[in-house]
């Protein structure tokens, strides 16, 4: 797709109303998909049911998010800096110094 994501389409046997409801309630969410030719064994089913997605897919790294937040702050109040680069460097240096002071 345009954003480099993939679209995967599945064709299944006719789902039950409960299965359709489960799929519909999961729309727009992240999850896991498992496929196996043979039926899953009990321990495999348990392992799949216990999987938890512990990530937030924002599409940006934490560094990109920080830069974005600093940029929005710059647009509201440039604090006298003539360019965002200078504003960004100044505030990043403040963050670095803050954490350097915490070092033994």
Give the separation between CA 62 and CA 53, rounded to whole angstroms.
18
**pLDDT value of position 54:** 65
Q: Is residue 42 part of a domain?
A: no
**Residue, of 102 and 6, whose pLDDT is higher:** 102
**pLDDT value of position 91:** 97
Give the separation between CA 52 and CA 12, rounded to whole angstroms.
25
Residue 69 structural domain: 62-100
Q: Is residue 93 part of a domain?
A: yes
Between the two ends of the chain, the Cα-to-Cα distance in Å is 48
Q: Is residue 27 part of a domain?
A: no
* Beta-carbon contacts of residue 55 (< 8 Å; ≥ 6 apart): 30
Structural domains counted in the chain:
1
Please state the rounded mean pLDDT for residues 26-34: 81
| DSSP, residue by residue, 18-73 | HHHHHHHHTTT--------SSPPPHHHHHHHHT--------SS-HHHHHHHHHHHH
pTM to 2 decimals?
0.46
Q: Is residue 13 part of a domain?
A: no
Q: Is residue 32 part of a domain?
A: no
Please state the rounded mean pLDDT for residues 44-58: 77
Quick check: 57 pLDDT over 60? no
Q: Give per-residue pLDDT as tens, 62-101.
A: 899 899 999 999 999 999 999 999 999 999 999 999 999 9
């Amino acid at each position: 797709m345009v954003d480099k994501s993939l679209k995967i389409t599945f064709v299944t046997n006719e789902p039950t109303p409960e299965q359709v409801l489960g799929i519909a309630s999961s729309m727009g969410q992240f999850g896991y998909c498992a496929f196996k030719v043979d039926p899953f064994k009990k321990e495999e089913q348990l392992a799949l049911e216990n999987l938890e997605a512990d990530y937030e897919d924002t599409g940006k790294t934490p560094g990109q998010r920080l830069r974005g937040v600093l940029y929005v702050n710059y647009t509201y109040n440039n604090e006298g800096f003539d360019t965002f680069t200078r504003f960004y460097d100044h505030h990043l240096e403040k963050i670095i110094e803050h954490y350097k002071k915490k070092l033994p």
